[in-house]
């Protein structure tokens, strides 16, 4: 996995800071996650930012991130690359957590469009999700 991180242009100092998260057994999932991020228009700079800003992604299962990304796309998120780049910790959430968050907001008379707009413009709102 170190080779992949270097290939992405992640600096040695950043690699040293995230070494504890590196799981060589998870390299296949990590490679798929990189391909997924590129498929939603993340460039190499964004991917570097995501990995350095959220080293937990080095341990996440591809299927979980795929499910999250597909769900967000299906409900109307348009710029996931910008969302993930501006707040990489978003990728630590599971689909059901986002569903529960949206359901609670809808119960409080928020429209889905407003919820999406709020999250896209202020991804820190995701911290309301427990």
Q: Where are the domains of the chain?
A: 2-128
Instruction: Look up the CATH number of domain 2-128.
Output: 1.25.70.10
8 A C-beta contact, residue 24 and residue 1:
yes
Q: What is the pLDDT of residue 19?
A: 81
Q: What is the pLDDT of residue 79?
A: 92
Give the model confidence (pLDDT) of 16-72 as tens digits.
Answer: 888 888 777 788 999 999 999 999 999 999 999 999 999 999 889 999 999 999 999
Selection from 78, 71, 70, 68 nearest residue 120 by Cα: 78
Task: Compare 2 and 84 and report the one with higher pLDDT.
Answer: 84
End-to-end, the C-alpha distance of the chain in Å comes to 30
- What lies within 8 Å, CB to CB, of 62 at 6+ separation is 28, 29, 30, 32, 33, 36
Looking at every residue in the chain, the average pLDDT score rounds to 91
Tokens of 32: 């798929």
pTM of the predicted protein model: 0.87
């Amino acid at each position: 996995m170190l080779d992949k991180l270097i290939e992405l242009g992640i600096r040695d100092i950043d690699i040293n800071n995230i070494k504890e998260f590196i799981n060589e057994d998870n390299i296949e999932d990590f490679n798929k996650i990189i391909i997924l991020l590129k498929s939603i228009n993340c460039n190499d700079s964004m991917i570097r930012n995501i990995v350095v800003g959220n080293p937990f992604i080095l341990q996440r299962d591809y299927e979980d991130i795929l499910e999250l990304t597909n769900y967000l796309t299906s409900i109307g998120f348009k710029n996931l690359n910008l969302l993930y780049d501006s707040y990489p910790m978003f990728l630590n959430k599971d689909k059901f957590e986002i569903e529960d968050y949206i359901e609670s907001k809808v119960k409080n008379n928020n429209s889905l469009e407003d919820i999406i707009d709020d999250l896209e413009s202020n991804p820190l709102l995701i911290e309301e999700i427990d």
